[in-house]
Amino acid sequence: MASDTKIAVDGPRASRPHAGQRPAVREPLAVYIHWPFCRSKCPYCDFNSHVREQIDEGRWSRALLADLERQAELAPDHEVVSIFFGGGTPSLMPPDTVAALIERVAALWPVAPGLEVTLEANPNSAEAKRFAGFAAAGVNRLSLGIQALDPAALHFLGRRHDRREAIDAIALARDTFPRTSFDLIYARPGQSVAAWEEELGEALTLAGSHLSLYQLTIGPGTAFGNRAERGETLAADEDTAAALFELTQERLIAAGMPAYEISNHARPGAECRHNLAYWRYEDYLGIGPGAHGRVTRDGGKVATLQWRAPEAWLAAIEESGSAVEEMTPVPRDSAVEEMLMMGLRLAEGVSRSRLEAFAGRTVEDLFAAALPRLVEGGFLTLDDYRLAATAAGRQRLNAVLAALVA
């Protein structure tokens, strides 16, 4: 396995306390960086991802650095705990651009010991050739989009890689990075419980300490969404999907990787720090087209949203140094809803004290109408420290949330 990240623990601008002076407590910050390009568009994909014949890599690198510099002003007193290169397909980024962005983060803020630096990668052999370059740039966690180990399913999902490339990329990633994860998509049409059990069993033999297992969703406006509107069946029926979800939970618990979030499984201590920042409603910056952020201001949250189309985003950055389309304070009620929506996805649930501080009211007072019913029904638990959804509650989270905030 590879050695740890190459980043210095403190960047040049980090403030070091003088002797006898207590270091200021800094808020944790997660930095998300979006690369919006892919080699082809997968038919199920609803992400801000685009296919372009040519990409001016120098311009994109300068623009992302400029965006980072500008947005750093929104979160000056923080300590960076995570950097996440997401997409699109960030494994198409030049490793030099990745290195420059990581270095700039470390120059702008102090970084936490054990800073997590994740990059999402597609397992095509051409991209696997860049893994060593990404590790040298400071990436210490690779998240691979495997999606399926079954050749027919890879074809159905419109993937450009085959089963062999997937297995080889996992092995190479585990040899190159200290931490790895991969994604699979299940609840595909016609997928039986027995077939998923076999695929999952194989995934567990290949996996490191983290797996993301998503149920296929068919979004409007995607190629699958359009075909579904014309009457095609493109996902498993509800009962089969529920059976596949339950099997997933059982197998992953037995393998020592319980779900710490609805679709994410890890050995204890191997949870993705970056995604935890979203689900715990901590501060994060969104760099790049369509990326959004949340930062704390005057005890509340401010939401940022960037231009979504890559060309509009690039033009805005080059003209004015900023492509933030909207920057709006999140009203208190909405912040409470966001905190719940994110936090109840986690097995650990939401911190009662943080929720009450945001709301200015007790949890019992906030949710007087539905809370007793949801606790008695076995969907929520509440103690002095946390409000959490049970496994049954997490499986029906939309209904639980709707009842709580009605």
Ligand X SMILES: C[S@@+](CC[C@H](N)C(=O)[O-])C[C@H]1O[C@@H](n2cnc3c(N)ncnc32)[C@H](O)[C@@H]1O
- Provide the binding-site residues for ligand SF4, judged by CB under 6 A: 38, 41-42, 45, 47, 49, 87-89, 122, 145
- Judge whether 17 and 276 are in contact, CB under 8 Å: no
Q: Which of 41, 66, 136, 214 binds ligand X (CB under 6 A)?
A: 214
Q: Which of 34, 68, 84, 87 binds ligand X (CB under 6 A)?
A: 87
Between residues 78 and 161, which has the closer beta carbon with respect to ligand SF4? 161
Q: Measured between alpha carbons, how far is 224 from 212 in angstroms, rounded to an integer?
A: 21
Residue number, nearest CB to ligand X: 145
Binding-site string for ligand X from residue 177 to residue 196, where x marks contact by CB under 6 A and - marks none? ------x-x-----------
| By the rule CB under 6 A, 236 interacts with ligand X | no
Is it true that the peptide bond before 11 is cis, omega within 30 degrees of 0?
A: no
3-state secondary structure (DSSP) of residue 210: strand
Nearest approach in angstroms of CB 157 to ligand X is 9
Question: How many residues are there in the chain?
Answer: 406
Nearest approach in angstroms of CB 41 to ligand SF4 is 5
- Judge whether 119 and 15 are in contact, CB under 8 Å: no
41 binds, among ligand X, ligand SF4, none (CB under 5 to 8 A by kind): ligand SF4
3-state secondary structure (DSSP) of residue 322: coil
Nearest approach in angstroms of CB 148 to ligand X is 10
Q: What's the burial of 324, exposed, middle or buried (CB within 10 Å: 0-12/13-18/19+)?
A: buried
Between residues 45 and 200, which has the closer beta carbon with respect to ligand SF4? 45
Residue type, 148: A
- Judge whether 307 and 323 are in contact, CB under 8 Å: yes
325 binds, among ligand X, ligand SF4, none (CB under 5 to 8 A by kind): none
286: nearest Cα among 313, 319, 315: 313
Q: Measured between alpha carbons, how far is 358 from 403 in angstroms, rounded to an integer?
A: 20
Between residues 289 and 349, which has the closer beta carbon with respect to ligand X? 289
The structure tokens listed for 275 are 């995604």
Residues found near ligand X in the complex (CB under 6 A): 44-47, 86-87, 89, 120, 122, 145, 147, 183, 185, 214, 216-217, 219
